[in-house]
Amino acid sequence: MKITHIEHIGIAVKSLEEAIPFYEETLGLKCYNVEEVKDQKVKTAFFKVGQTKIELLESTDAEGPIGKFIEKRGEGVHHIAYAVEQIEDQLKKVEEKGVRLIDKTPRKGAEGLDIAFLHPKSTFGVLTELCENKNK
Ligand code: ZN
C-alpha cells in the first residue's frame, strides 16, 4: 500500500461546543468546517495542521459508534486516517493479507471523501481509516 500522508486524526468528544474553544484559543488552530454525517450519527469539526486535519467527533445519538465509544472508553483519540490512492484496490490488498475490514467497499465520509475502516482487532488496537479524495 502507498500512503501519502495522515489525512486526519479523529478525536471523540462529548461536546463540540466545549472542545472547539480549546483547539482555537489554546492551540491556536482555526475551525474551518462543521458538518453532520448522518449515517455515522456524528457532528464533526475540522482543523488543519499542515497537510493533516484534526477531526473532532460529537455523537448525535448515544447508540451511534461515537456514543458507544465514549460510553466505554471516554473521550480521546478514536481513529487515524491515512490518505491513499485507488482505495478500492487498497482494500482488496489488505483483505488478501488477512486484515478484517469494517467496510468492504468505500462509503462517503465527511468532506466528500471516500472512506473505509479496518477493524482494530487486525490493526493492533487502532481503528484505522483509509481515505481518498476523488474530488481534487
Ligand atoms: Zn475519520
Domain containing 110 — which CATH number?
Answer: 3.10.180.10
For residue 65, report the distance from its CA to the centre of ligand 1, in Å.
Answer: 12
pLDDT tens sequence across 82-109: 999 999 999 999 999 999 999 999 999 8
Cell numbers at 52, concatenated = 493533516
For residue 112, report the distance from its CA to the centre of ligand 1, in Å.
Answer: 11
For residue 107, report the distance from its CA to the centre of ligand 1, in Å.
Answer: 12
What are 56's strand-pairing partners? 11, 45
Number of domains in the chain: 1
pLDDT tens sequence across 25-76: 999 999 999 999 988 899 999 999 999 999 999 999 989 999 999 999 999 9
- Domain of residue 23: give its range: 3-132
- Model-level pTM? 0.93
pLDDT value for 136: 72
| DSSP code per residue over 24-82 | IIIS---EEEEEEEGGGTEEEEEEEETTEEEEEEEESSTTSHHHHHHHHH-SEEEEEEE
For residue 97, report the distance from its CA to the centre of ligand 1, in Å.
Answer: 23
